[in-house]
A and B are shown apart, each in its own frame.
Chain A
Amino acid sequence: MTAPTETQQLMSVRAGVLPGALEKAKAARDRRTYLLLLLPAILGLFATFLLPLGYMVKMSFDRGAPDGVIESAFTLDSYVRALSDPYYWQVIWNTFQMGIIVGVLCVLVSYPIALFLVRTRSRFRGLLMAVAVAPLLTSAIVRTYGWMVILGSNGLVNSSLHSMGLIDAPLKLTNNMTGVEIGLVEIFMPYAILTMVSGFGRLSSQLEEAAGSLGANGFQVFARITLPLSLPGVLASFLMVFVLTISTFVTPTLLGGGTVQVLATEIYDQTTGVLNWPFAAALSVILLALFGAIIAVYQRLTRKIGG
């Protein structure tokens, strides 16, 4: 082969493909592939998630009659009723307050464990980590049942205190908000620990040792180094627990014994008892709004800390 012929051949080859054509063809092929891969998931979530939620929002504007009759309408009746009746204000307040109390307590009891798990070099670290988060995979009902046995009037706490002669009458620890809150603190601890451990990335024992070597005492090290660095993780896990708490249904029902009214239990009663679905839907939207509000506050807070 002589040089000119090959060059000519190459020239003709070059003329065959327009600049960018191959890339465009590849992009089109890729688009087809990923759309095909995503389609089942998008359809699946649309049908089982977006559609129910959308339908629920729509339902909240319908008119409901007490005997389960639903009139298609566009009315704010349910919202007006929920937000004008002092009883429902109390329910919303109960929900909010429960979220705050459980969130704060849960963070307090989880913090030492998370701090330990992040800092320890123990060979049992993996095991202790697994033990701390394993309860996540056990039924919340089972754990609530466990708390009912512990806190009940004949339960572990009361019978122990009684046999030690510390109390005469049993303490009232179930069928009220106290019991619900104790149970929820424990039930959400694994979430709080998990969130904090992930959020404590910037924390290192070297920083603390450095501060110590510069003359800071134990308290100063904690207040000036450990706490500020762990604050984002603490906030994130508070948010997590708050959100989980205000949406939980099983524990308030079982440990509250029908005496604790929060949004979740109210939604259930409206759905199954009173059969006022539009009103239940409106309460759900209010619950979602509470969610949105706290997440917005959280984002402002983290931005402030981050900045």
Chain B
Amino acid sequence: MQQTLAVDEAPPFKPRRRIGRPAFGTLLFLLYIFLLAPLLIVFVIAFESNQYLSFPPQGFTLKWFEMLPSESIFVDGMKVTLVVAASVTVIVLAIGVPAALALDRYEFKGKGALHAFFLSPLLVPSIVLALGLVLILTPLGLTNTYEGIIIGHVAITFPFVVRTTLMSLTTADTSCEAAARILGAGAWTVFRRITLPLIRSGVIAGGIIAFIVSFDEAVISLFVAGSGLPTLPVQIFQYVSNSADAAVAALSVVLILISLGVVVVVERVMGLRKAL
């Protein structure tokens, strides 16, 4: 028991901390390993000459990567995915940035509700939205088309653009816009020359996240265009459901590296934690 006499000395819990610290550090290390395990393992198999994993690894090979360009399903899937993700990004930025601007710079009734509505697609299971999309796209003949997948990805990517743009807007100094107006700039000039440059980081981060969410999306794409125009994630999903050879691992490595590049860019542009 601690005696009151010990008051002058270092706080009594400090020494115990010193014992606890290595244990806590070990725990953290193990948890990080757990968190990164599937990504690390994918890297190992992608370069592993043996079809099945065993430890220690049997040998190093690049043959799985060499296979990729000849696998037409992956190449086609990649094309679909890139076209969709790029289009979705452009559309969502075009409607999301003005919406964020209205939410931040104007006062009106029902603003809170509208804000919640704009973020609500994040709360709806994508399988539920996917089903609803199939129901309305089928009569329009838009299933298995680029348009269909793009329409399907708008709602799930939109909240990210609104969120990151709003974040930049709230931190940007509004008196810069006032200063520009006083100096003679009209509304459009203020937006183009002042506001847009000030919120650049949020817009870029939102666009990148929208791109990557669309790029990785599988469920809506599967429902809307799974049979006729599969995106890369859909191809991987179907491939993995049937067999699990290491070509998928190599492809996964490619996808991880793309994502990793995006992570680095977002982190540099506005900080990953704020953006997500």
Contact = CB atoms under 8 A, between A and B. Distances in A.
A288 B127 CA distance: 11
Given A40-B95, A113-B32, A149-B41, A287 B125 contact: yes
A217 B12 contact: yes
A182 to B, nearest CB: 9
B39 A145 contact: no
A152 B54 CA distance: 12
Contacts of A34: 102, 105-106, 108
A41 B132 contact: no
A194 B31 contact: no
Nearest to B105: A34
B60 interface: no
Interface in A88-111: 109-110
Interface residues of B, number: 90
A281 B131 contact: yes
Contacts of A59: 135
Given A47-B151, A139-B216, A145-B249, A134 B41 contact: no
A137 B259 contact: yes
A243 B13 contact: no
Contacts of A189: 34-35
A283 to B, nearest CB: 9
Contact of B124 (A53, A146, A152): A53
B240 A129 contact: no
Q: Is the interface of A mostly helix, strand, loop or mixed?
A: helix
A126 to B, nearest CB: 8
Interface stretch (A5-13, A15-23, A230-238, A264-272): A264-272
Interface stretch (A72-80, A165-173, A244-252, A296-304): A244-252
A131 interface: yes
A45 B93 CA distance: 13
B237 interface: yes
A37 B252 contact: no
Interface string A42-57: 1011011101111110
Contacts of B105: 34
A154 interface: yes
A133 B259 CA distance: 12
A139 B98 contact: no
Contacts of A281: 131, 135
A135 B36 CA distance: 8
Contacts of A51: 132, 136
B131 A113 contact: no
Given A48-B152, A49-B155, A33 B38 contact: no
Contact of B45 (A149, A212, A213, A254): A149
Interface size class of A (residues with CB under 8 A): 35 or more
Interface string A122-164: 0000001111111111111111111111101011100110010
Q: Is the interface of B mostly helix, strand, loop or mixed?
A: helix
A186 B267 contact: no
Given A217-B12, A284-B128, A288-B128, A45 B158 contact: yes
Interface in B13-70: 13-14, 16-17, 20, 24, 27-28, 31-32, 34-42, 45, 52-55
Nearest to B43: A146
A222 to B, nearest CB: 10
A141 B236 contact: yes
B126 interface: yes
A52 B132 contact: yes
A2 B13 CA distance: 83
Contacts of B53: 149, 154-156, 159
Interface in B116-147: 117-118, 120-121, 123-129, 131-136
A130 B187 CA distance: 38
A133 B273 contact: yes
A287 B55 CA distance: 42
B241 interface: yes
Contacts of A156: 41, 53, 55
B57 to A, nearest CB: 11
B263 A130 contact: yes
A209 B240 CA distance: 51
Contacts of A163: 55
Contacts of B262: 137
Interface of A: 30-31, 33-34, 36-38, 40-42, 44-45, 47-49, 51-56, 59, 109-110, 112-113, 116, 128-150, 152, 154-156, 159-160, 163, 183, 186, 189-190, 194, 197, 209, 212-213, 215-218, 221, 243, 246-250, 253-254, 264, 267-268, 271-272, 277, 280-281, 284, 287-288, 291
Given A53-B124, A159-B53, A254-B240, 9 more contacts: A38-B114, A45-B118, A45-B155, A56-B131, A142-B252, A142-B256, A156-B53, A250-B237, A284-B127
| Closest 4 A/B residue pairs (Cβ) | A146-B38, A247-B125, A52-B132, A41-B99
7 contacts: A34-B108, A40-B95, A41-B162, A45-B155, A146-B41, A152-B244, A156-B41
